[in-house]
Chains A and B, each alone.
Chain A
Amino acid sequence: GAGVSQTPSNKVTEKGKYVELRCDPISGHTALYWYRQSLGQGPEFLIYFQGTGAADDSGLPNDRFFAVRPEGSVSTLKIQRTERGDSAVYLCASSQSPGRGDTQYFGPGTRLTVL
């Protein structure tokens, strides 16, 4: 079946602009995660959804970052007033249940460049 998909694959924006990044999880997966991966680094956790609610948003760096999952499937990561330091690959992952250690399947990521 289809894996996790993310759109757009690349996004170039100017400092100060607003961006939205979209994630389509695997059908039936209730848990959804956002991670951010800077060049030469491993992914860093941002936020986790169980169903429609954000169960853990402890990784969001500041209040410019916000994410929603209104119907419990597709999720959107929103970044306001973008800064050059926001440039990274934003990865989305989903898992069948929120159980500890449940396999997380990753999408290809959205490469965000802030000029």
Chain B
Amino acid sequence: QKEVEQDPGPLSVPEGAIVSLNCTYSNSAFQYFMWYRQYSRKGPELLMYTYSSGNKEDGRFTAQVDKSSKYISLFIRDSQPSDSATYLCAMSAINNQGGKLIFGQGTELSVKP
């Protein structure tokens, strides 16, 4: 079993829909939680970053972390065709001085006009 599990999709939604992306994890030492967006043939770019539990909002994006359930989510409101990409969750453990990231498999999202 992988340390981080993410449904690979693909997920297809109409423009304007609310998108919910999720990851589960098994390592209770994870304290740093990130969402990266990756366009085709590009490197991942950081979207959201959360330390420990709680919610964080940035424009149309909201990240949630529930450490008790070992579950993190990313919500995209008013989705746009430009949001079509692969979304990767990533985590880092508090006992890792180097900040090595453990990634989920990635969810491929397509937003149809």
Contact = CB atoms under 8 A, between A and B. Distances in A.
Interface of A: 4, 31, 33, 35, 40-45, 48, 50, 55-56, 59, 91, 93, 95, 98-109, 111
A48 B98 CA distance: 7
Interface string B42-58: 11111001010000000
Interface stretch (B12-20, B59-67, B72-80, B100-108): B100-108
B101 A56 contact: no
Contacts of B94: 100
Interface in B1-50: 4, 6, 8, 31-32, 36, 41-46, 49
Given A48-B98, A100-B94, A42 B88 contact: yes
A56 B6 CA distance: 25
Contacts of B99: 31, 33, 48, 95, 98-102, 104
24 contacts: A40-B8, A40-B105, A42-B4, A42-B104, A42-B106, A43-B44, A43-B101, A43-B103, A45-B101, A91-B43, A98-B97, A100-B92, A101-B99, A102-B99, A103-B46, A103-B49, A106-B36, A106-B43, A106-B44, A106-B45, A107-B43, A108-B41, A109-B42, A109-B43
Contacts of A95: 99
Contacts of A109: 42-43
Interface size classification for chain B: 20 to 34
A42 B105 contact: yes
Contact of B100 (A56, A103, A111): A56
7 interchain residue pairs of minimum CB distance? A42-B103, A101-B32, A106-B43, A48-B98, A108-B43, A106-B44, A45-B100
A13 to B, nearest CB: 19
A48 to B, nearest CB: 4
Given A42-B90, A43-B44, A104-B99, 7 more contacts: A40-B8, A91-B43, A100-B93, A100-B94, A100-B97, A101-B32, A104-B46
